[in-house]
Amino acid sequence: MKKSLLFLLALAASITTATAQVEIGLKITPAITSLRAESSTVNAFATDGSKLSLGGGLVVDYFFGENYAFSTGLLLTGKGGSYTYRDPSLSGLAISQKLTMQYLALPITVKLFTNEVAPATRLYFQVGGSLNVPIGSRVNDSKYYIDPATGAENKASEYVYFIDADALASVGVEYQLGKSTKVFAGVCYNRGLVDIDHYFERKRDFKDVTIKNSGFGLDLGMKF
């Protein structure tokens, strides 16, 4: 029984090794990002604008079938946007604030490829998620911000939760240039799943404040 089990495990490992293929590349992603800001009517948080961001980094596709791959990598991504809110301690004065962040992102996704739709050309569909750790943040383009209601100066990093997670979906086209060189282009959508507010509820005692990331981007890259 043990010998049979070992044989089956060895056979499965040899098949996986024979069929698995790893492709590594680089990409850049210019994007339009925004913040989905919501709260009760007391503070009336609302989205107030988007921003242009730029990201990019390492892409790794691990194929477990001819048309199926586990896709990950290590990316530097820019996110953020503007929102407005009303502060009761300032007689309900409307305040506009821009929050921008840089994240180190680890995508965890699956890519599904079609057969060739034209010579050396395939479409791909990517779905999954991404875990993101903030490595830099600014409020109104500054690393420090004075709250107009309290007069206290705070680091911009105090406004952002220590981790974020996205749902990710993209569609694109991949073209084979040579034996191992491919270029690809696609459009992607990231929808934040984590409330990144780490200031208003914790330090200002605002109620039911939710701020989440969102973004549309253009993936441009090459695999070697």
Q: pLDDT tens-digit profile of 10-29?
A: 434 443 444 469 999 999 99
Structure letter (DSSP) for residue 117: S
Helix or strand or coil: residue 8? helix
Q: How confident is the model at residue 222 (pLDDT cuts 50, 70, 90)?
A: very high
Pairing of strands 121-139, 68-87: unpaired
Question: By the 8 A CB rule, do 222 and 181 touch?
Answer: yes
Helix or strand or coil: residue 133? strand
Q: Alpha-carbon distance 170 to 188, whole Å?
A: 4
Kindly state the average pLDDT of the residues 37-41. 96
Kindly state the average pLDDT of the residues 140-152. 96
70 or 2: which leads in pLDDT = 70
Long-range residue pairs from 32-35, CB within 8 A, at least 24 positions apart, any chain:
32/215, 32/216, 32/217, 33/78, 33/79, 33/80, 33/81, 33/213, 33/214, 33/215, 34/81, 34/213, 34/214, 34/215, 35/80, 35/81, 35/82, 35/83, 35/99, 35/211, 35/212, 35/213, 35/214
Locate tokens 């800001």: which residue?
37
3-state helix, strand, coil in the chain (%, to 5): 15, 65, 20
Global pTM?
Answer: 0.88
Phi, psi for 14 (deg, rounded to 5) = -65, -35
Residue 93 burial (CB count, 10 A): 12
Kindly state the average pLDDT of the residues 117-122. 97
CA dihedral 16, 19, 20, 21 (to 10 degrees): 170
The hierarchical CATH code for the domain 20-223 is 2.40.160.20
Give residue 3's pLDDT.
47
Residue 153 burial (CB count, 10 A): 9
Q: Which residue intervals of the chain are DSSP H helices?
A: 2-19, 200-203
Give residue 5's pLDDT.
38
Q: Which residue spans within 88-209 are E strands per DSSP?
A: 93-113, 121-139, 144-146, 153-155, 164-176, 182-192
Give the CA distances from residue 71 to residues 60, 74, 125, 129, 220, in Å, rounded to whole numbers and listed in that order: 6, 11, 11, 10, 15
162 or 9: which leads in pLDDT = 162
16 or 145: which leads in pLDDT = 145
